[in-house]
Chains A and B, each alone.
Chain A
Amino acid sequence: MTSKTPNGTGLDELLRRALTDDLPPDVAAGMRERLARFRERTTRREGRIPMWTLLFPKSAWAALSILILVSGGLLQGRGTRNPLSDRISLIKTRLAVSQQLAAAGSMSCSARIRNGDGTLVDYEIEWRPGSPAEVLVRGPEGSLLRTFRLGEPPESADPMISTIASISTPSAVGERLSGGWRFVRFSRESSCDIGTYAIPAGAGPEVLEFTIDLCTNLPVRIAGSGRLASSPEMPSDIFWEATLRF
């Protein structure tokens, strides 16, 4: 019946001989028409060449597909990242940090502030559970100007201290960390991965950069600059940084 089955012509002949007298002419005509249509379409399908083989032969497509497969596997093996990887990394880090923060033993924060006369003053606050936080004030060359504990009289003499202390308590840092995070960059240092994220510093456009050691999931540094408090008396160029120890 088709070009592929020449032996079928014998069967056709046999059927024609056996049935020719019994079939009414209109039925025979209908059958002939159907057979012709079927033969035409089948032949057309048999002769059809796939479009993709017109560009390259099948073997070239096979080689290309293997090449694509292997390159994909190699890229994945090398740890190629994309925005999705970065976002997953961010979520995993946030989970880990929130757990680690609860277990933090102590925390130190430092703030560098330019005074009205242009000199830089460093404030270092050491937070320890169960005892008042210790404050160290250093001059431009790192010389220790004074030291005291939070809540003691010298604090009231320097309005900057209470503002810096209020934004750098462990609970304030924890609150900042619970806000929305945005991925800033990812860097690899030696065998460990260091990730840097940005978190909102407040209602304004300022952000704090939050650097974490991805091997241990420990925060390495939290740093921010700009106006961190809403008070207009605050100087505009504060550099604020917190380092957590566990």
Chain B
Amino acid sequence: MSDNMKNGASRRTILRWLFAAAFVVATILSGLFSGLMNKAGLFYLAFGSVAVALMGSSGREIGAAFRFAAGRPGQVMERRRAAHFWEAAARNAWILGVLGSTLNFTIVLGRESGGIEDTGNRMIQAFIVSLYGLVLAVICLVPALKLMNGIAGTGGPVPPPASGNSEVFPDRSAAIGRVIGYILFAAVLGSTLYALTKGRPQSGVLSVGKVMLHGPAILVTAGGTIALALFLSAGARGLTFGFAMTGFISLLMGFIQALFGFMHRSINDIVTAIAFIISASSFSLLGMLVIAAPLEDREVMEGRRERPSSLSRMFWIVYPLLAFIFLVLTFLMVITPMKQKVGG
């Protein structure tokens, strides 16, 4: 391919992205979807995605992924790593979106409000962050799929991971990048919580922390994940499996407890079950996002594995979806009033 042809392809790709960005900006400015605007959610998702990307990939790998997405040619292994970066970015956006909804939901429930209508509106607003996450995931999947198709189109067997290549082994700059990623994520989370709670009487980040820290949910998520990861001895994949399965079991456990609460007309059972569902889904999603997924990303980027396991990929898609469904069920359980017992 000549230099002119390469430059032309890059220019066309950049033009396509610019056109798409202009379309998105115009849609936002038109006000057609003003009801779907959640500034804190947008901030959290955009900067949270950057932070989580830094946890799993080095700055050099991120730069290369952007260059390949812009149509730059390269070796199969490099293109494969770039495709994995975009797939991981899509996964991060999806998990971040659902986690954002869960955290927003917790904040709405945990703070003072003017009335029941206001609380209901804010609970519905919390779901918008998941929508943002899904849209961003779809955007990130486009370059991932294009790069995958490009690799498949080259024909012949794909070479095994280049384990001997010095570029794919961890270096000091990657470790610094990861630390920056974790610090940035903590800052994004803290500032989002502050933005959502500021100006509310008898509220604030500390009281939100108290609301979020539901002891039993933390114990079950941590204990279950560590136990499963130890018994599996599968490294990062074991952690992904542990967080997802513990989270799913916790969701079901809480849901069944809530159903019993409705049957026995016990508000105490219902509210503790709802708190358990919300907290367990938050902690399992958080663990999956900031512990398990970056470790799996490092395994791929460093050439220790060719690709993430199919089971992990399934959990990354299905578990946040389940958490979202249970969040909707939780919303319904909160707004469903208990009926008086017949003759009671």
Given the complex of chains A and B, what is the CA–CA distance between A35 and B165 in angstroms?
A: 10
Q: Judge whether B116 and A94 touch: CB under 8 Å.
A: yes
List, in ascending order, chain B residues with CB within 8 A of A100's CB: 340
List, in ascending order, chain B residues with CB within 8 A of A246's CB: 340
List, in ascending order, chain B residues with CB within 8 A of A69's CB: 219-220, 223-224, 227
Given the complex of chains A and B, what is the CA–CA distance between A138 and B42 in angstroms?
A: 62
User: A residues touching B (Cβ–Cβ < 8 Å)?
Assistant: 34-35, 37-38, 41-42, 58, 61-62, 64-73, 75-76, 79-89, 91-96, 98-100, 178-180, 182, 188, 193, 195, 214-218, 246
List, in ascending order, chain B residues with CB within 8 A of A42's CB: 163
Q: Which of B31-39, B90-98, B206-214 contacts A (4 or more CB under 8 A)?
A: B206-214
Q: Judge whether B110 and A37 touch: CB under 8 Å.
A: no
> How does the 8 Å CB contact mask read for B155-172 relative to A, with 1 for contact and 0 for none?
000000001111001000
List, in ascending order, chain B residues with CB within 8 A of A81's CB: 268, 271-272, 275
Q: Judge whether B113 and A180 touch: CB under 8 Å.
A: yes
A-B contact pairs, 12 of them (CB 8 A): A64-B226, A65-B230, A68-B219, A76-B257, A81-B268, A82-B213, A85-B268, A85-B271, A88-B334, A89-B267, A91-B116, A215-B344
Q: Is B65 at the interface (CB under 8 A from chain A)?
A: no
Given the complex of chains A and B, what is the CA–CA distance between A70 and B278 in angstroms?
A: 19
List, in ascending order, chain B residues with CB within 8 A of A58's CB: 230
Given the complex of chains A and B, what is the CA–CA distance between A92 and B164 in angstroms?
A: 61
Closest chain B residue, CB of each to CB of A86: B271
Q: How many residues of B contact A (CB 8 A)?
A: 59
In the complex, number of A-B residue pairs with CB atoms less than 8 Å apart: 160
Q: Judge whether A193 and B268 touch: CB under 8 Å.
A: yes
List, in ascending order, chain B residues with CB within 8 A of A68's CB: 219, 222-223, 226
Given the complex of chains A and B, what is the CA–CA distance between A124 and B106 in angstroms?
A: 42
Q: Is B274 at the interface (CB under 8 A from chain A)?
A: yes
Given the complex of chains A and B, what is the CA–CA distance between A67 and B116 in angstroms?
A: 40
Closest chain A residue, CB of each to CB of B270: A92
- Distance (Å) between the CB of A147 and the closest chain B CB? 32
Closest chain A residue, CB of each to CB of B274: A88
Q: Select which of A41, A66, A180, A193 is within 8 A of B267 by beta carbon.
A: A193
Q: Select which of B106, B220, B268 is within 8 A of A214 by beta carbon.
A: B268
List, in ascending order, chain B residues with CB within 8 A of A66's CB: 223, 227
* Known contacts A62-B227, A87-B211, A215-B265: A178-B272 contact under CB 8 Å: no
